[in-house]
A and B are shown apart, each in its own frame.
Chain A
Amino acid sequence: AQSVAQPEDQVNVAEGNPLTVKCTYSVSGNPYLFWYVQYPNRGLQFLLKYITGDNLVKGSYGFEAEFNKSQTSFHLKKPSALVSDSALYFCAVRVSSSNTGKLIFGQGTTLQVKP
């Protein structure tokens, strides 16, 4: 069965410092991996994805993520955090061979960036 784990309920970081939000996954087959961000009372917004190719993926708002097949991880990173990055972040996965497109989501990590 597919699953996604986000081991931290909350990550706190000071503005200007680098941030990492962790994600590990379990699938049978090649994964498609995604990061989404959710601001209060809003829907989820797509940040970036890994389908194939370069393990380092760059996305919106200066975020990037690194696909690590051996560690089955897809951690979200940003070199310099902004207060406006404070939000709820979700990692999601599906098997590349899936014919349904269903994404399995992690439980989410709240990122708090303090001035």
Chain B
Amino acid sequence: DAGITQSPRYKITETGRQVTLMCHQTWSHSYMFWYRQDLGHGLRLIYYSAAADITDKGEVPDGYVVSRSKTENFPLTLESATRSQTSVYFCASMNSLSTGELFFGEGSRLTVL
């Protein structure tokens, strides 16, 4: 039961570089989400997806790009990393709107120097 996995777990990069955080789930859940966690802000939604090829912006989408060509994968790309994007990133999935709970990955800790 692999569930939802994120990679890499830890990443250090430099300002201006492109970074992709991977998210893979084995449940075939329709809905997937990317959140970032910062001290004092809790979790804030970056992007979400209701199904393959359907994505939409969340609360803090600027500087991020997502794609969802397959149901099980939902990568998050920082096209040109900035220091303000230093954070812990969580991917989550949800089976259906009626059940409602999200299942989270273990997180990817990104440091932008």
Contact = CB atoms under 8 A, between A and B. Distances in A.
Interface stretch (B12-20, B62-70, B73-81, B93-101): B93-101
B106 A42 contact: yes
Contacts of A51: 98, 100
Contacts, number: 61
Contact of A49 (B48, B100, B103): B100
Contact of A43 (B33, B41, B100, B106): B106
Interface residues of B, number: 26
A102 B45 contact: yes
Contacts of A108: 42
A103 B97 contact: no
A101 B41 contact: no
Contacts of B94: 101
Nearest to A104: B45
Interface residues of A, number: 24
A49 B99 CA distance: 9
Interface of B: 31, 33, 35, 40-45, 48, 50, 56, 58, 90, 92, 94, 97-98, 100-107
Interface of A: 32, 34, 36, 41-46, 49, 51, 90, 94, 98-108
